[in-house]
Chains A and B, each alone.
Chain A
């Protein structure tokens, strides 16, 4: 018996399994305990071969009608080290499962180390009958050209087929009212405020490139967009003017947010000289707007919330700043990925998704949980 003990110990060790621990799940569990689980998409089929990349974000489709968000259908961003793949996932009610579809062109190399993950925004589609889902993106394949396109897809017999994509670059400002400017887009954002309209309000920060008309000046532009594309004329903001922000001299790419309620603009950009993120805010559409650098914001800003707060998820850490750039709360997000602020039944919510592998007896499938928290309560996650 005594001689068998080492053998027995060896057998026991060989049969043992790892402890149940994953820091990213632990950190996520700490914050989802204060959130509402809106939807679990499981099982999700059609991602075999891609699901090993668990850096997956679910971007639910937008609707023009209530509740405003379709939690069962939406886009998937599969983020890898060198590329981002785009898929659309749709609920199959007959099989009570979810199917992901992709198309050949919806894969993007990621040449830009700082911005590449923040280029995708779902757009509203006016009705289910219209059968359009839209994805608006700044194409990282052509960073110099600042090319944009809208991906459209329609549902045919329950499957998703890409319809067309088109370049927005040439159309963006040509459709603007005179005077017509030739400009490069530096950044854009979609205002999360839902005004019960069949389109999204998008805001743009552009830099004039063509002399002799004030080359190098900045201009803010708003446009109406939906899944059908640019269907309304581009419109400069009331009282828009060309202006200068000296801190942004030389910056050709940034994250730009505009709060129409407060008429406040924010730019978050990576300062390669300083080796860090900076943030500046300004107000007023004069040639010399009242601006203020926010030195407390040293992380990338991923959203301007309807509460007036700024939200960063850089490095997997959620940070909430007030409008003056003072950090109010910070908390690890772990495996949670920030979707954005969305209106659901008229309430502004901060949405997050969490992708996980579910191991069954003979197979593995992907599951995606969607959580929400009122946007105003986001800072309580740091308590």
Chain B
């Protein structure tokens, strides 16, 4: 988990940085700055620390210049000389570069920053920054490092090029620049597909004028569908929210309250849910009484899958699991219900958004109770409707649940 958290945070920050970006003027094309980070001296950063430092630095700098696309080197930084960097910047699809060499010690950092603009052939930045002694650089603090002492360096540098620099296209086509998270697969109506590179932008030439639907899909992020009309070159930023990994359900099984926590091991498609339904208080729906109570609580665990995409207005899902029934009557130690201690359950559900991160759901939830005393179990029911009784089990066909699901 310690390794996952920094990566998840970075992913979130990466998404946030792109989402906060402004739409590019169609008359200008952004500059691409390759950021290289290296170490020297005896600071002794590990490869992983250096990678995290590089990416968090990229994010921090990107936040200062939304009109600039910061990219990582296409390959490992082997030759930090001007020549080596200039060669690498071409391979990385950038037109300028900045090398940050970290030295000193982990608690007293020294940054040597050197940057050149390939288009103008000039050195843009060449400076050294010494950070005062502070918290030691480590895997714990790197994901939260804001690099504020470096963020001012980009001000006024690498101004956008005129759009005329764009490659010439057919008169009946236009270039659409889509800015999304790196690795996103873009699918256009008509079948055109594009995979977004590390620079977080994709250029696609499309016949114009025409209306298009664009689907942006990336594992770990919500799949987004956008509709737009294109008649000339333009840019588009698509917001991709992080896919929720957890959900909290507040529900009612018929008329008994329940709580559940879901984890999505395969975001948007697969869930594992642990829940609790208690019969301590329930709505009676009878004229003579409003509430009634049974000293019984079910704990259940089930797994399931969604059967249609996350962007669907109504999602359907199915799951299978098991449950344990605990009796907690006064004067009787809590225990598994001797009448029917456990069982299996199936879930067929639908959910629909009722807010940015909430869903209303309804589930059909047949339950199979195992029992050593089937006749006693059967005698708890005054109607056979909705029941199938077996020699060692009973199947409750009529059971359903409604509730609200908060995604996190």
Contacts and interface: CB of A to CB of B under 8 A. Distances in A.
Interface residues of A, number: 38
A18 B360 CA distance: 23
Interface stretch (B30-38, B128-136, B222-230, B367-375): B367-375
Contact of B384 (A9, A25, A360, A367): A360
A16 interface: yes
Contacts of A358: 375, 378-379
Interface in A128-166: none
Q: Which 10 A-B pairs have the closest CB atoms?
A: A12-B400, A9-B362, A356-B379, A30-B338, A29-B338, A16-B254, A26-B339, A22-B380, A9-B402, A20-B380
A13 interface: yes
Interface string B266-307: 000000000000010000000000000011101000000000
Contact of A12 (B279, B294, B364): B364
Contact of A15 (B327, B338, B398): B398
Nearest to B329: A23
A274 interface: no
Contacts of B352: 2, 5
Given A2-B314, A9-B400, A360-B384, A28 B376 contact: yes
Given A20-B339, A23-B327, A5 B375 contact: no
Contact of B375 (A12, A21, A361, A369): A369
A16 B380 contact: no
A275 interface: no
Contacts of B382: 357, 359, 364
A25 B386 CA distance: 21
Interface of B: 254-256, 279, 294-296, 298, 313-314, 325, 327, 329, 331-332, 335, 337-340, 350, 352, 360, 362, 364, 369, 372-373, 375-387, 394, 396, 398-400, 402
A293 B296 CA distance: 40
A5 to B, nearest CB: 6
Contact of A25 (B313, B360, B380, B394): B380
B350 A15 contact: no
Contact of A1 (B314, B325, B331): B314
A2 B316 CA distance: 12
B294 A359 contact: no
A29 B337 CA distance: 9
B402 A17 contact: no
Contacts of A17: 254, 381, 383, 385-387, 396, 398-399
A236 interface: no
Nearest to B367: A19
Interface string A21-38: 111011111101100000
